[in-house]
């Protein structure tokens, strides 16, 4: 009999039925009304993942293994002498072997008011449903606890539109996983997103109003927070009451005492997961150790040798969009160990490695950039001496070159959830005949737990297949075996208009933060081709977008947003300048003329955005797509109209190009420029596509990028007339959108293209592939169907409901968005500064009416 049906309980069932099929008649008593589901990714429920998608209960599993699953009927009593378990319904079940997988319960500090209306825990799908329902009428939410789950809860509250606070008793966030430096970097990144963090502060009391609803929270440091929703995430406690009641030994701080085979003091009873106190004296609160205990208990019941002596507690996750990882001896407690640090406060990146006296990697902390985790964690568990200087493992890619997963020894554990080594993965490919990542997952279970090792898994599988001479499929991610270019063609040819249909027909699983934005970009690029009028914020399309696209604005470091209207060619009338100036003045926005010949306005609150757009649209402006993977600007000099050196009208051409390609969604952002002569004042040769005037026409340069790795553009065609120039750019852009990889700028796209510039010229100029007519038609449809996203949003009440973070308290400033004066304007306040909240009245023009349901 199994008591409890969470993730660990389900893993036990799978392991037992694999090792001893048909040997046991199994009854499962589950407290919840639904079978086991994925609690690791529970927060994804807020972004649209359904309960069915989170389920870990395979269809037909119970029938094929003769399992009697009793939902909503938890065990309430164990009679060890009679070997029976009684459930809440009064039913009595005999057992020959009993496995307790009762998990843990959230710890709620016993402070006054902890049971007020509006106080929740964050443990089950039902908890999340209650939180979301309450948030509909709330404005401010507070999370008690700054650990892993607490920060996930904070991210959920922020996504629900609440002004969010995190209260942590320890002096830093994630105190168990990261050190002071990592905690500071994490705090900085999270506060940039608008979440207020209170560390070294305990909850003293929760005050309720006359209606019994939460109204405020008093902290131990004297602060009083106004809040109308509280989520307790202050840790968990083992659910060991059943064991206590039947006389089984438990630890001083809880947890059912078990040996290395997960047996309790009663040889017929085992305990696994968070309810168990392992033989090493620890209660493990992570899924990987729970899975390992489930495997050990199942092996013992199957008559095999099973043992659990401890587990890797490494962690990698994304909290409020911030990458955080901790592995091995992260705090450097090993005698004689040394630390190697890399810190970049400007970028919010912190990396620390702990290196042993023998030169081995012992552990580390990564915040802001956890790209190397897939390689560093197994390198630490392998205990092998480093073959490169440790600083090379933490320096940015532009400075140091770190070895990849292929450099790991075979004994290195790649998947800590299922304890799968690199050698086992290689064997699955070479000896087991696995020809892709899904096959290796099925064979070894690697990558099927938390998912943090999937990238390393893909690299190892690809390298092993390549070494065997097998052609390796380079899919977009684990959910699609196709490349982005292939998915583009599938969507176009089959007329697919939704992500759900694409993944149902050509992918697996539910998707991830790699494929969703990539497919969202493809669908946006092909809207006109597909006869589709779906706005980027409509329905399923909205859930695919990156952060900035969600609000058609750029999120800034203090939680405010910037508004960037399009100014084609940098040409603007005095009336336009006055309109922008008045809007910036009325809303207290910081203004800056950018290098791309536009005026940026910073410091807007979410609910101010539609009002600002309304005035800009009325003045003749439209979205500049500063937030999107799309055309940003076409920079220009003044050309022959004003300049004594100019040979062509560069301003007119720049305006024509910008208006032609505005709103064109692409794998990455696009920048352009037009110079009126060879003096190159517009710097056209550093752009994705740049044009330079000649006395005979125009020269077109492509594939130039600025940024961290600047690249000079290449000359594609020279001395062409205006019509030929436009047609060539059309084809160049559409060929790029059609074939580039996700987040790939034009420079690396051309560099990796077989044949490089010559091949590109053959395709878009000479029509060597016979696709130029299609490329021309794609661009023509884009131009014909272009619609300003700001104007379209203003005209749709359903879309406007997205911008309602503070509608329930109009005119009240967001206390997390604070500014200080500087050079007669404002800038975001730093952590050590006393800033002011700015929220001018919504003025001028007809008021927008934004209603919530």
User: Which residue ranges make up the annotated binding site for siroheme?
Assistant: 681
Residues comprising the chain, all counted: 853
DSSP 457-475: HHHHHHHHHHHTTPPPP--
Mode of pairing for the β-strands spanning 67-70 and 26-29: parallel
Name the β-bridge partners of 263: 270
- Spatial neighbors of 79 by CB under 8 A, at least 6 apart, are 85, 86, 246
Quote the crossing angle between the two packed helices 609-618 and 574-586, to the nearest 10°.
160
Binding-site residue ranges for [4Fe-4S] cluster: 637, 643, 677, 681
Residue corresponding to tokens 């597909």: 530
Residue corresponding to tokens 């014909």: 784
Q: What are the tokens at 49? A: 């993942």
Half-sphere exposure of 645 (CA within 13 A, CB side): 10
Q: What are the tokens at 312? A: 């890797």
- Spatial neighbors of 846 by CB under 8 A, at least 6 apart, are 614
Binding-site residue ranges: 637, 643, 677, 681
Nearest CA among 843, 739, 773 for reference residue 486: 739
Q: The sheet that has 689-694: what strands, in order across it?
A: 631-636, 670-675, 689-694, 697-702, 714-720
∠664-667-668 over CA atoms, to 5°? 85
- Spatial neighbors of 707 by CB under 8 A, at least 6 apart, are none
Return the H-helix or E-strand segment holding 169.
none
DSSP 202-241: -EEEEEE-TTSBEEEEEETTS-EEE-SEEEE-S-EEE--H
**Rg over CA atoms, the chain:** 30
- Spatial neighbors of 656 by CB under 8 A, at least 6 apart, are 726
Q: How far apart are CA 365 and CA 354, in angstroms?
A: 9
The per-residue b/e assignment along 530-550, b for 16 or more CB within 10 angstroms, e otherwise, is bebebbbbeebbbebbeebbb
Question: Quick one: DSSP state of residue 41?
Answer: T
Q: How far apart are CA 819 and CA 830, in angstroms?
A: 8
Nearest CA among 74, 65, 77 for reference residue 25: 65
Instruction: Yes or no: say if 380 and 353 are a contact pair by the CB < 8 Å rule.
Output: no
- Spatial neighbors of 380 by CB under 8 A, at least 6 apart, are 327, 328, 329, 360, 361, 362, 363, 364
Instruction: Yes or no: say if 657 and 577 are a contact pair by the CB < 8 Å rule.
Output: no
């Amino acid at each position: 009999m199994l008591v409890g049906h969470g993730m660990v309980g389900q893993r036990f069932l799978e392991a037992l039925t694999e090792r001893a099929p048909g040997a046991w008649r199994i009854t499962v008593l589950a407290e919840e009304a639904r079978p086991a589901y994925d609690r690791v990714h529970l927060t994804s429920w807020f972004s649209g993942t359904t309960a069915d998608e989170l389920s870990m209960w395979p269809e037909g599993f119970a029938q094929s293994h003769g399992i009697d699953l009793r939902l909503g009927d938890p065990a309430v009593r164990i009679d060890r002498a009679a070997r029976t378990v009684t459930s809440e319904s009064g039913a009595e079940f005999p057992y020959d072997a009993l496995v307790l997988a009762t998990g843990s319960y959230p710890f709620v500090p016993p402070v006054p008011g902890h049971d007020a209306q509006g106080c929740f825990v964050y443990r089950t799908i039902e908890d999340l449903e209650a939180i979301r329902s309450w948030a509909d009428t709330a404005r401010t939410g507070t999370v008690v606890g700054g650990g892993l789950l607490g920060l996930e809860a904070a991210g959920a509250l922020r996504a629900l539109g609440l002004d969010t606070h995190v209260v942590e008793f320890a002096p830093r966030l994630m105190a168990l996983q990261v050190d002071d430096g990592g905690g500071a970097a994490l705090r900085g990144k999270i506060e940039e997103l608008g979440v207020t963090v209170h560390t070294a502060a305990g909850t003293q009391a929760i005050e309720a109003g006359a209606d019994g609803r939460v109204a405020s929270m008093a902290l131990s440091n004297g602060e009083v927070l106004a809040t109308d929703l509280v989520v307790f995430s202050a840790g968990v406690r083992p659910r060991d009451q059943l064991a206590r009641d039947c006389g089984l030994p438990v630890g001083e701080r809880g947890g059912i005492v078990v040996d290395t085979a997960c047996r309790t003091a009663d040889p017929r009873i085992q305990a696994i997961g968070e309810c168990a106190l392992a033989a090493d004296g620890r209660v493990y609160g992570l899924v990987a150790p729970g899975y390992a205990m489930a495997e050990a208990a199942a092996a013992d019941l199957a008559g095999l040798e099973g043992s659990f002596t401890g587990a890797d507690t490494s962690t990698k996750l994304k909290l409020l969009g911030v990458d955080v990882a901790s592995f091995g001896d992260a705090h450097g407690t090993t005698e004689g160990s040394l630390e190697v640090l890399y810190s970049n406060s400007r970028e919010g990146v912190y990396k620390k490695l702990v290196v042993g006296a023998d030169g081995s990697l012992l552990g580390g902390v990564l915040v802001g950039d956890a790209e190397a985790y897939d390689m560093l964690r197994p390198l630490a568990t392998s205990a092998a001496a480093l073959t490169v200087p440790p600083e090379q493992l933490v320096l940015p890619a532009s400075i140091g070159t770190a070895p990849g997963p292929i450099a790991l020894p075979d004994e290195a554990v790649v998947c800590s959830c299922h304890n799968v080594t690199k050698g086992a993965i290689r064997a699955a490919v070479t000896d087991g005949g696995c020809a892709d990542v899904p096959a290796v997952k099925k064979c070894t279970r690697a990558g099927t737990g938390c998912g943090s090792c999937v990238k390393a898994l893909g690299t190892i599988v690809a390298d092993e297949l390549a070494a065997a001479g097998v052609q390796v499929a380079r899919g977009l991610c684990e959910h699609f075996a196709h490349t982005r270019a292939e998915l583009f063609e599938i969507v176009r040819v089959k007329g697919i208009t939704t992500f759900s249909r694409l993944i149902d027909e050509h992918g697996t699983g539910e998707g991830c933060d790699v494929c969703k934005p990539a497919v969202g970009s493809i669908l946006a690029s092909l809207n006109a081709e597909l006869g589709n009028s779906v706005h980027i914020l409509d329905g399923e399309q909205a859930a695919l977008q990156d952060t900035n696209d969600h609000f058609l604005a750029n999120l800034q470091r203090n939680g405010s947003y910037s508004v960037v209207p399009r100014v084609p060619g940098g040409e603007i009338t005095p009336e336009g300048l006055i309109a922008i100036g008045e809007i910036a003045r009325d809303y207290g926005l910081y203004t800056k003329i950018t290098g791309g010949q536009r005026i940026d306005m910073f410091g807007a609150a979410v609910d101010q955005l539609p009002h600002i757009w309304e005035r800009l649209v009325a003045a003749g402006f439209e979205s500049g797509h500063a937030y999107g993977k799309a055309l940003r600007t076409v920079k220009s000099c003044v050309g022959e109209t004003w300049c004594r050196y100019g040979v062509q009208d560069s301003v007119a051409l720049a305006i024509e190009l910008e208006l032609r390609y505005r709103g064109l969604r692409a794998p990455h952002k696009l920048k352009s420029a037009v110079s009126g002569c060879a003096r190159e004042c517009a710097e056209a040769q550093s752009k994705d596509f740049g044009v330079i005037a000649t006395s005979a026409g125009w020269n077109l340069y492509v594939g130039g990028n600025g940024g961290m790795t600047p690249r000079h553009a290449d000359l594609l065609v020279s001395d062409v007339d205006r019509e030929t120039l436009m047609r060539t750019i059309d084809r160049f852009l559409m060929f790029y959108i059609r074939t580039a990889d996700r987040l790939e700028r034009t420079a690396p796209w051309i560099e990796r293209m077989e044949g490089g510039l010559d091949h590109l010229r053959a395709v878009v100029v000479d029509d060597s592939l016979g696709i130029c007519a299609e490329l021309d038609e794609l661009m023509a449809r884009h131009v014909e169907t272009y619609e300003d996203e700001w104007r379209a949003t203003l005209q749709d009440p359903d879309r406007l409901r997205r911008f309602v973070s503070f509608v329930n308290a109009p005119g009240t400033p967001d206390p997390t968005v604070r500014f200080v004066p500087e050079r007669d304007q404002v800038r975001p306040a730093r952590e050590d500064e006393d800033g002011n909240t700015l929220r001018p009245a919504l003025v001028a023009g007809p008021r927008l009416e934004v209603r919530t349901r």
